[in-house]
Structure 1
Amino acid sequence: MPFQGKIAVVTGAGSGMGEATAQLLAARGATVVLAGRSEERIRAAADRIKANGGKAVIRATDVADRADLEGLMEWIGQELGRLDLAVNNAGGHADFKPLHETPADESDWVFDLNLKAVYNGMRAQISLMLRGGGGAIVNNASIFGLKGVAGIAHYVAAKHGVVGLTKAAALDYANSGIRINSVCPGATETPNLLRATGGDAHALDAMIPVGRLGQPVDVARAICWLLSDEAPYVTGANFSVDGGMSAG
């Protein structure tokens, strides 16, 4: 198994792409730390992994809180001894509205969750990985990190920031045994998308060149490849996982 004996952390692991990634990492041999705000959700996700013979532990964490996020990484170092793989997946946004009508506290929350959490997470993850001799990180951006979309300027800016942050950090650690890449999922059938579309997410199928919504496992497979030894020469890359939506 490609991740046998590896220690991995996935944020936002209680559902959707985060849970799918944690499941796939565990199925391929990793011990996975599932982090998320809802202890109930990450515990249920960890139980599903264990039911399939995988190794999973949980740590309730609000990644938008820098101290909480740093505490997660300190705990991993103390309890598990090292960190080999990290997936900064947690993210989210509020309702669409014009920029000038967006409350300042909402913008702060979006930037804290989608950009600052990735920055702060990588700072702590890289420190652990340097002590252990290297590792690999994948940051979950969004198709909105590749284009402009009306009504959600703060989220678009944050996701563009994740793509740029990934590239810059990859150069910082290219000679240190740490590879850092990002993925940009398109419309993917997750609880967040179902809420945003009022449960009618498949109305988007016709807009996608391959003719269907992405599934969380589609993104998880791309992430796991980027984390694996099959991608030793890939760093600073951004992978679109969007059924061709960004190709036109």
Structure 2
Amino acid sequence: MKLENKVTLITGATSGIDKATAKAFGVAGAKVVFSGRREPEGKATEAQLRDAGVDCLFVRSDVSNEAEIKALVQTTVEKFGKLDYAFNNASIEALPKPLHEQSIEDFDELMAINTRGLFLCMKYEIQQMPTQGTGAIVNTSSLGGLIAFPGASPCVASKHAVMGLTRAAALDYAKQGIRINAVTPGATATETLDRSLDRMGLTADDFASTVPMGRIGRVEEIAQAVVFLCSDAASYITGQPLVIDGGFTVS
């Protein structure tokens, strides 16, 4: 999957899957603009990627802020002249609780980032892509966008919304040469998973035993799936979730 002279925008890209994906796009030859709310981590990632030979730029932005997302897309086009791909990965989590114990403040924050933020990202990314006649967008859902988990009603609702936005937008723009898909990762070795397992009193080995493949996913495996969905190798795929879970959902 060679992506020379392509330009990629990644949101939420200061650690974990997003950081690995920024590197994967760069290794494939793409120029990368990535964003997140944590500026020190973003600048550190920018330096690491440049040391690895990636032509990249970090821009601090909050996906729940419309003006900042509009400016992020504009900055990408001003820096590199176009926008070929977007990976919308910014999201947050919530503490596991039954629905009646969930606060409206936590629910609203989840929706502001995971759902409204995704809508804003796609809105401004898609405004740019038709002028080029092509483009590919990948959104991060999760297994919570396909199935449900106890104690996670706000997260599950937000991730189901991600899939709804992905599918509907894919229909809207298919004839304009814009493909829109989603990745739905299972348990992946990230700080987020570590926090979740710690709250449940589980170890990584405990959880790995529930996965048919007997292990937790690696961030690089998610990153390569995102690059694939953006590349011409996936030119006939749109409106689809790519499940990357080691067989968890079929077990």
Decide: shared fold, TM above 0.5: yes
Matched, 1:213 2:211: no
CA shift, 1:200, in A, is 3.0
Structure 2 equivalent of residue 58 of structure 1: 58
Deviant stretches of 4+, over 6 Å: none
Contact 1:174–1:235 (8 Å) recurs in 2: yes
Letter in 1 for 2:57: V
Shift of 1:72: 1.0
User: C-alpha deviations, 1:76-96, integer Å up to 9, x for none?
Assistant: 233332110000011121211
Deviations 1:102-153 (A, max 9, x none): 1111101101111111111001000111122211000010011111111110
Q: 1:218 & 1:200 partners in 2: Cα distance?
A: 21
* Offset, 1:162: 0.7
- Distance in 1, Cα, partners of 2:206 & 2:59: 36
Give the Cα separation in 2 of the matches to 1:50 and 1:77: 19
Which residue identity lines up with residue 61 of structure 1 in the other structure? S
Asked if structure 2 preserves the Cα contact closer than 8 Å seen for 1:186 and 1:242, the reply is: yes
Partner of 1:11: 11
**Quick check: 44-53 or 227-236, which moved more?**
44-53
Q: Equivalent residue for 2:91?
A: 91
Task: Determine which of 204, 210, 221 is the counterpart of 2:207.
Answer: 204
Equivalent residue, structure 2, for 1:112: 112
SS at match of 2:184: strand
Q: Who is 1:36 aligned against?
A: 36
Give distance in 1, aligned partners of 2:217 and 2:24.
16
CA deviation after TM superposition for structure 1 residue 12, in Å: 1.1
Is 1:155 aligned to residue 151 of structure 2? no
TM value normalised by structure 1: 0.96
How far apart are 1:222 and its partner, in Å? 0.7
What runs of 5+ residues in structure 2 fail to find an aligned partner?
none
Per the TM alignment, residue 64 of structure 1 is displaced from its structure 2 partner at its CA by 2.0
What's the CA shift for 1:74? 2.2
- Structure 1: distance between partners of 2:166 and 2:79: 27
**1:152-211 C-alpha deviation (Å, 9 max, x unpaired):** 101101101111211111111111010000010000011111122228333211011100
Shift of 1:32: 0.4
Instruction: Give how far 1:53 is off.
Output: 1.0
For 1:5, the aligned partner's letter is N
Q: Does 1:177 align with 2:177?
A: yes
Counterpart of 1:240, as a letter, is V
Secondary structure of 1:172's match? helix
Contact 1:63 1:113 in 2 (8 A): yes
Q: How does 1:64-103 map to 2 (within 5 A)?
A: 64-103=64-103
Q: Percent identity?
A: 39
Q: Match of 1:235?
A: 238
> Which stretches in structure 1 are left out of the alignment for 5+ residues?
none
- Structure 1 residue 21: Cα displacement: 0.6
Would you say the 8 A contact 1:142–1:186 is kept in 2? yes
Instruction: Answer whether contact 1:130 1:176 (CA < 8 A) is retained.
Output: yes
Mean Cα deviation higher: 147-156 or 75-84:
75-84
The AA in structure 2 aligned to 1:234 is I
